[in-house]
Chains A and B, each alone.
Chain A
Amino acid sequence: MAESRMQALVVDDNLALARVTQFALQRIGCEATTAGNGRIALDLARARQFDVVVTDQQMPEMTGVELCRNLRNLPGYGSTPLVMLTAKGLEMELSTLQEELGIRRVFPKPFSPSEVAAAVQDALTTAAP
């Protein structure tokens, strides 16, 4: 059972927010892992394959967009659904983000964890072959 569960990675320097997002994803049946910044997230992504990545944009060391770009360069992450959370404006146009990085959705903070979970579920079902 555990093997068949979708693997989700939640990246946010705000640990409380990462925790509640993780909780919401777990409720829809995902196995969610949290990471406090982009570097840890990349390490985790290299270690094992995630089916979906939810990341904050404003983070120290590496922004969400930079993380997405790095992820796309990793083997196995070419078409992994990406969802972004942001408290401020983005450093580039939404259309560019979607085109270049294939980011599915962008949620402005404060966001509803259930909506994020729904978007993740939607992404997983359409992405699944």
Chain B
Amino acid sequence: MRSSRWKPSSRRRIVAWHLMFSLTALLLLGAETVGRADRLHARRSSEAYVARFGRLAAAVEMAYVRGASAAVGDLLRVEAAAAGAAYCGIVDGSGRYARHSGEGEGTLADAGNEVVQRWGAIAAVRLLGSGQGLLEFRTPLSAADASLGELRMGVPNPLADATWLHGAERLSVAYLMALGLLAIGAVLVGRQAEGLGAIEEQLRRTAGLPQEAPVALEPVRACHALSVGWNRVVDALTHRTRQAGRALDLQEHLDQTAATQQQMQYEAILRNLAEGVAVTDVGGRVQFANAAVAALLDDEPDPTSLLGAALTEQLEKEASPESRVSLRKWVAADAASAGPLQVECDAERTYHVERSSLDTPDGGYVWLLRDVSQQRLAQQSRDQFIDTATHELRTPLANIKAYAEMLASADDIDLEHQKEFCNVINAEVTRLARFVDDLLSISSLEVGTLTIDARPVELGRLFDEVAAKARPLMEQKSLAFSTTLPPKLPEAKIDKDKIAAVLVNLLGNAAKYTPATGRVALRVSAEEKRLRIAVEDSGVGVAAEELPKLFDKFFRSSDPRVQAETGTGLGLSLAREVVRVHGGEIRVESVLNEGSTFIVELPLA
């Protein structure tokens, strides 16, 4: 910043200049006026003397004409006194005073005296000899054409007189008025120049600012056009600056709005993610949790209920005792190196938990929570299927190998045994083939390519064939097998092979899970537009809690009596799919230890 040294304000300087020039002019004017007045006064005095002198000369001449020359002396005295002259006299031809107002006698030296002015016969002569500077009026006197001499009157020289005082006297009033006007002028000029100082100071300050610095100007007291104009400029500038500021504000506001909107969008995404997302501080307290987290941990849709809670404690509340131990170990470990954790809550629920460090100055963690119960159950079913499939493949293979090897290695096996062994091998191959068929069906079901070849089918024949296939299974276990068909069966447009497979499967299950000497029945009834096929048995039945899962893929009952039998867990799910593709439905009614009834309903139209 530039040091602001005190300077006389512009206003003072302007007033000072104004006063200086005005006073000088006034002085010059005054001097001139005084001179003029002086000269005027002198001329007027001279002319008055001249007139008086003329009249005196005439009076003297008249007195000489009348012959009253004696009275001339008195006349001169009276006139000298009246005119305020120093003297008055008549000089004769020899240069001597013939008459004189005083005692003036003798010859007068006239050398060096010069005539300063003439008015006709009258001449004014400045007398050098007179110390006080007398002016002498002279005129020749004559009477009856005879020269009488010369009339002379000495008066104080009006030109040499200190007459300027007379002028000054008259001048003073005007001069005072002029001075007064001058003072008024100074005040007015001062007022005119009043804002200038402030303006100049601001301009100087502005000039000293760096290029890019904002210009800040202030209005001054509005008292004349200049300051009013300045204030307008300042107003305009301020307005423009404010406008620019407002535009800047608007842009800022828009940016902020956009940012807020984006943030809201991100938050909405986070909130609505199906996957649970939570953020905890370094101490493990929840700072953010979305609805999915709240649903998993709190069974509550409002995630704010979790804020401030310790996430680990919340997780521990859900976890099974064994999972709790592994959870504690996992939380204590380094977040970067620890992978995801499966937290088992109970037999049904499993959570997948991930944790990673939050990359912010405050630190903390981001948590991902996912309910993987479905995946886990699916995985379990799949594992069970692999288990079952392996068993189902290995058992016939083991049998085939064992019997084939036995046949090949021993020459001394009797025909009876050879026949028996071949039958076993044959039966095992059939079983293997059926299993492969099941697998193929299930894989086509899996990719949704199960198609049906619907053709008009004579239902009576279909049921006869199904019954014929099932009967040997019943006979093996001495089961009472009965079929009930309506006297007249309509024709139906179905995929005969697939429906037959479904019914054989249902009858096969009935035979498998019905203890020996039980009973199995196939009952068919045709309603108006629906064909109802029921497979009843007096078998082991299905526990109520397992009924909803019975048609699920890979599901096998945990009942030991079911486990004792081989099975893939695919038959019923396949049956449901076939019936569904036909536009029908399959359901089960069962009481544990009393028996089951599987009902298939197919549309007839």
Residues of chain A whose beta carbon lies under 8 Å from any beta carbon of chain B: 13-14, 16-17, 19-21, 23-24, 27, 58, 60-61, 87-88, 109-114
Contacts and interface: CB of A to CB of B under 8 A. Distances in A.
Given A23-B417, A87-B390, A113-B406, A16 B424 contact: yes
Contact of A23 (B390, B401, B406): B406
Contact of A112 (B405, B410, B560): B405
Nearest to A13: B564
Contacts of B175: none
B402 A110 contact: yes
A114 B403 CA distance: 11
A110 B406 contact: no
Given A60-B563, A110-B397, A114-B409, A87 B402 contact: no
Best-surrounded residue of A20, A23, A24 (most CB of chain B within 10 A): A20
11 contacts: A14-B398, A16-B427, A17-B399, A17-B402, A19-B424, A23-B406, A24-B406, A87-B390, A87-B391, A113-B402, A114-B409
A111 B397 CA distance: 10
Given A16-B403, A20-B406, A20-B424, 9 more contacts: A13-B564, A14-B395, A17-B398, A17-B402, A87-B395, A88-B390, A88-B391, A111-B398, A111-B401
A112 B402 contact: yes
Nearest to B562: A60
Given A14-B399, A20-B399, A110 B394 contact: yes
Contacts of B403: 16, 20
B398 A109 contact: yes
Given A24-B406, A61-B560, A110 B400 contact: yes
A24 to B, nearest CB: 6
A109 B398 CA distance: 6
Contacts of B427: 16
B435 interface: no
Contacts of A58: 391
A16 B394 CA distance: 13
Interface string B402-417: 1101100110000001
Q: What 8 A-B pairs are tightest by C-beta distance, nearest first? A: A110-B401, A110-B398, A109-B398, A60-B564, A87-B394, A20-B402, A16-B399, A113-B402
A27 B399 contact: no
Centre residue among B398, B409, B563 by max chain A CB count within 10 A: B398
B495 interface: no
B421 interface: yes
A54 to B, nearest CB: 12
A86 to B, nearest CB: 10
B428 interface: yes
Contacts of B405: 112-114
Contacts of B428: 16
Contacts, number: 62
Contacts of B402: 17, 20-21, 110-113
B560 A60 contact: yes
Contacts of A111: 398, 401-402
Contacts of B400: 110
B388 to A, nearest CB: 11
A127 to B, nearest CB: 25
A88 B518 CA distance: 34
Give the residue among A19, A60, A110 with the most B Cβ atoms within 10 A.
A110
B565 to A, nearest CB: 9
B566 to A, nearest CB: 9
B399 to A, nearest CB: 5
Contacts of A60: 560, 563-564
Contacts of B417: 23
Contacts of A110: 394, 397-402
Nearest to B395: A14
Nearest to B427: A16
Contacts of A16: 399, 403, 424, 427-428
Nearest to A116: B402
A67 B427 CA distance: 29
Contacts of A14: 395, 398-399
Nearest to B423: A16
A99 B387 CA distance: 28
Nearest to B399: A16
A22 to B, nearest CB: 11
Contact of A87 (B398, B409, B564): B398
Contacts of A19: 424
A23 B401 CA distance: 14
Nearest to A86: B394
Contacts of B401: 110-112
A105 to B, nearest CB: 16
B394 A109 contact: yes
A87 B405 CA distance: 18
Contacts of B398: 14, 17, 87, 109-111
A60 B398 CA distance: 18
Nearest to A36: B564
B122 to A, nearest CB: 171
Contacts of B564: 13, 60-61
Contacts of A87: 390-391, 394-395, 398
B348 to A, nearest CB: 26
Nearest to B563: A60
Contacts of B424: 16, 19-20
A84 to B, nearest CB: 14
A112 B398 CA distance: 9
Nearest to B394: A87
Interface in B54-113: none
A17 B424 CA distance: 10
B195 to A, nearest CB: 105
A113 B408 CA distance: 12
Contacts of A23: 406, 417
B407 to A, nearest CB: 10
Nearest to B409: A114
A87 B409 CA distance: 23
A52 to B, nearest CB: 18
Contacts of A114: 405-406, 409
A112 to B, nearest CB: 5
Contacts of B406: 20, 23-24, 113-114
A124 B576 CA distance: 54
Nearest to B424: A16
A76 to B, nearest CB: 29
B421 A20 contact: yes
B161 to A, nearest CB: 158
A111 B390 CA distance: 15
A60 B395 CA distance: 14
A15 to B, nearest CB: 10
